[in-house]
Structure 1
Amino acid sequence: MEQHDVFTLGETMVVFQPDQYAPLDYVHQFPKKIGGAESNVAIGLARLGHQVSWFSQLGDDPFGRFILKTIRGEGVDVSTCQFTRESPTGLLFKEQLSPDDLNVYYYRHQSAASMMTPDQLDEDAVSQAKILHITGITPALSKSAYDTTMRAIKIAKAHGVTVTFDPNLRLKLWSEDRARLVLQEIASLADVILPGIDEGEFLTGETEPEAIAKALNPQGDKTIIVKLGDEGAYYATAGEDGYVSGFKVRRVVDPVGAGDGFAAGIISGLLSGESIDHVIKRANAIGAMVVGMAGDIEGLPTAEAVEKFMVPDQEQRDVKR
């Protein structure tokens, strides 16, 4: 098994996203795309130059094959993925009524990914990675998906693999009590936690970034990065803490996937051994770039594009002269 920088697992769905602002009742054409938190991160990392392996179970249907081909085409290793004829590939419809009004409709109940089981995991693929990336979506899909997530974490911890965790709270999938219990459990095992400010409040009951970070890291041995939207992020590590400013977005086209782009930026920086403030600055830039384009993966940039985006306009003009 070839060693990868990152291993991740979860459900990716076929996304039907109209090119127009209108209620779905009046939409008649739906371009076909893909979307899934973990595969978004995997693709984001691949575009940034990293070796990534993504695992899921897909329906043995045209949609499942479309997802596999698309992710493989982005340079992500999908060799551990499995197909099943027992359950279909999940679907997702986006309804955008305006730039600021987006509704998402999921058709994923008893989907193929929700039926994944721990014995399907390739232990070598997990244990030989440098980082295991987990989100709070996969354990919410079903009991077996939860068991698979926890199995991956157990393998990672046994082999010294760093665990990064994005809570990615989805209350449509489970009850508040169950969500809080499981997300807190995973947070206690993770090395790097990436909550949004609302997710941090949900998990800890605290409302300020500093208090959230402290509540999630009572021993002081984790890295906590609290996302604050276009205001940037707050971080707390074993040795330092602080705020990193964000990037103003002139026009939000599609907010879905910004957090996944941010996570890809953080993981990329951790792999590169960069300073924490630069890691977060670049992650903020990627999140800002993603929301400027429709689709979950379409706005994920290359490393060169990120660096260009981060150069102030005046500096870019000076370089061109």
Structure 2
Amino acid sequence: MDFITIGEMVIDFLPGQEEGSYIRNAGGAPANVAISAARNGLQAGMYCKVGNDDFGKFLLKTLRENHVTPLAPEMTDEATTTMAFVSLNEHNDRSFTFARKPGADMLLDKSEIRDEDLKDCRIVQAGSCSLSAGPAVEATEYAMARAKELGKLVGFDINYRNLMWKDDKKACTEKVLSILKYVDFLKLSDEEIDMVGGHDNLLNVMKEYDVAVAVLTLGGDGAEVFYDGKSYVVPGFPVSHVADTTGAGDAFWGGFLSCVLNHGVSSVDQLNVELLKEAVKYGNVSGSLSVQEKGAISSLPTREKVEKFLAEN
């Protein structure tokens, strides 16, 4: 297995063709990243747990249909869907989203993280959304620490959520910083950059925690990659019609990591500036393509789509 993600899955309900009808669609950043990696030619797996209900079964089914192996498919009796968020944009793309109770689908115990899975993969990726209260924190941190011990690459997507931390951003920031010592590849956006002391402090944080690469996503403006004490801005690719940005960041990160691994990288010693610029460019295309279609998973582009776009542009 090339790629393992750890984290949450959610369910989106998108508008159907008829008024009052909805299309059920699975999402969630770690799931999207895993599926993006699978569509980019990597063998992907995901550690997650879901509720023992129709929604939970649908989520696991979605993973399998998209060629992602559920590594801990045991279900919990807690409900997967306990909260509803309403969000309509000018394109009327998203109707409402049911998200799980914090930690309900991340009730992993660290004993369920298997060495045989970690030994078989090249990179382990997690997002801080999964760092909600309970055993999820220990399981995620253990997996990343163990992967590091085994000499694997470790990725981390900072994604702060008030909901998970009851508005205690200080506690969340402390947890994120405590995990950085395991991280090789760090992804963050302009919304999370302040958690590491701001843009001007990022290189210092990378040096302190020995983070090899950090990527700051800039939306339609592209991304900035920080590496070896310097930063490089790689322009984005504008799209003619932005239908729904859901999944765009996940598509970017999945595309970026896939490009790195498809070059045969298994150690940070094999990295160089040109490869990372290419990976950022590849990720930018993946993110740009994903916003042209509605939905999260349904919009994640394949490797063929990305390479076709690059060939034509």
Say if 2:161 is the partner of 1:164: no
- In structure 2, the partner of 1:16 is 13
Cα distance in structure 1, aligned partners of 2:102 and 2:306: 38
Say if 2:129 is the partner of 1:130: no
The answer to whether the 8 A contact 1:213-1:226 is kept is no
- In structure 2, the partner of 1:147 is 138
Which letter maps to 1:5? D
The answer to whether the 8 A contact 2:196-2:202 is kept is no
Say if 2:26 is the partner of 1:34: yes
- Post-superposition Cα deviations, 1:7-56, rounded to whole Å, max 9, x if no partner, equal 11212122212248xxxxxx732211101111101111111111011111
Quickly say closer, same or farther: Cα 1:120–1:136, change in 2 above 3 A: same
TM norm structure 1 = 0.85
The answer to whether the 8 A contact 1:132-1:153 is kept is yes
Task: Map residues 1-321 of structure 1 onto 2, 5 A cutoff.
Answer: 4-19=1-16, 28-84=20-76, 86-90=77-81, 93=85, 95-99=87-91, 105-109=97-101, 112-140=104-132, 142-174=133-165, 175-201=168-194, 203-206=195-198, 208=199, 211-219=200-208, 222-238=212-228, 241-273=231-263, 275-312=275-312
Q: Secondary structure, in 3 states, of the residue corresponding to 1:98?
A: coil
Cα distance in structure 1, aligned partners of 2:191 and 2:54: 37
The answer to whether the 8 A contact 2:217-2:223 is kept is yes
Once the two structures are TM-superposed, the CA of residue 248 in structure 1 deviates from its matched residue by 1.0
- Post-superposition Cα deviations, 1:53-77, rounded to whole Å, max 9, x if no partner, equal 1111122222111111111011111
Q: Secondary structure, in 3 states, of the residue corresponding to 1:83?
A: coil
Q: Which range moved further: 45-54 or 272-281?
A: 272-281
Cα distance in structure 2, aligned partners of 1:46 and 1:105: 24
Cα distance in structure 1, aligned partners of 2:201 and 2:237: 23
- Post-superposition Cα deviations, 1:129-161, rounded to whole Å, max 9, x if no partner, equal 110001011012x22111111111121111011
Q: Which range moved further: 48-57 or 111-120?
A: 111-120
Q: How many residues align?
A: 299
Q: Percent identity?
A: 29
Q: Secondary structure, in 3 states, of the residue corresponding to 2:163?
A: coil
Cα distance in structure 1, aligned partners of 2:303 and 2:2: 16
Cα distance in structure 1, aligned partners of 2:211 and 2:5: 23
TM norm structure 2 = 0.87
Quickly say closer, same or farther: Cα 1:32–1:104, change in 2 above 3 A: closer
Q: Secondary structure, in 3 states, of the residue corresponding to 2:164?
A: coil
Cα distance in structure 2, aligned partners of 1:236 and 1:100: 36
Q: Secondary structure, in 3 states, of the residue corresponding to 1:17?
A: strand
Cα distance in structure 2, aligned partners of 1:46 and 1:254: 22
Q: Which range moved further: 91-100 or 143-152?
A: 91-100
Cα distance in structure 2, aligned partners of 1:78 and 1:60: 15
- Post-superposition Cα deviations, 1:224-269, rounded to whole Å, max 9, x if no partner, equal 1111111111112127531111011222111121111111011111
Cα distance in structure 2, aligned partners of 1:215 and 1:81: 39
The answer to whether the 8 A contact 1:59-1:111 is kept is no
Cα distance in structure 2, aligned partners of 1:102 and 1:184: 33
Quickly say closer, same or farther: Cα 1:179–1:167, change in 2 above 3 A: same
Once the two structures are TM-superposed, the CA of residue 115 in structure 1 deviates from its matched residue by 2.6
Quickly say closer, same or farther: Cα 1:103–1:186, change in 2 above 3 A: farther
Cα distance in structure 2, aligned partners of 1:49 and 1:6: 11
Cα distance in structure 2, aligned partners of 1:127 and 1:262: 26
User: Unaligned 5+ residue runs, structure 2?
Assistant: 264-273
Q: Secondary structure, in 3 states, of the residue corresponding to 1:289?
A: helix
Quickly say closer, same or farther: Cα 1:106–1:14, change in 2 above 3 A: closer
- In structure 2, the partner of 1:24 is none
Quickly say closer, same or farther: Cα 1:90–1:246, change in 2 above 3 A: same
Q: Secondary structure, in 3 states, of the residue corresponding to 1:96?
A: coil
* RMSD of Structure 2 on Structure 1 (CA): 2.4
Cα distance in structure 2, aligned partners of 1:31 and 1:192: 34
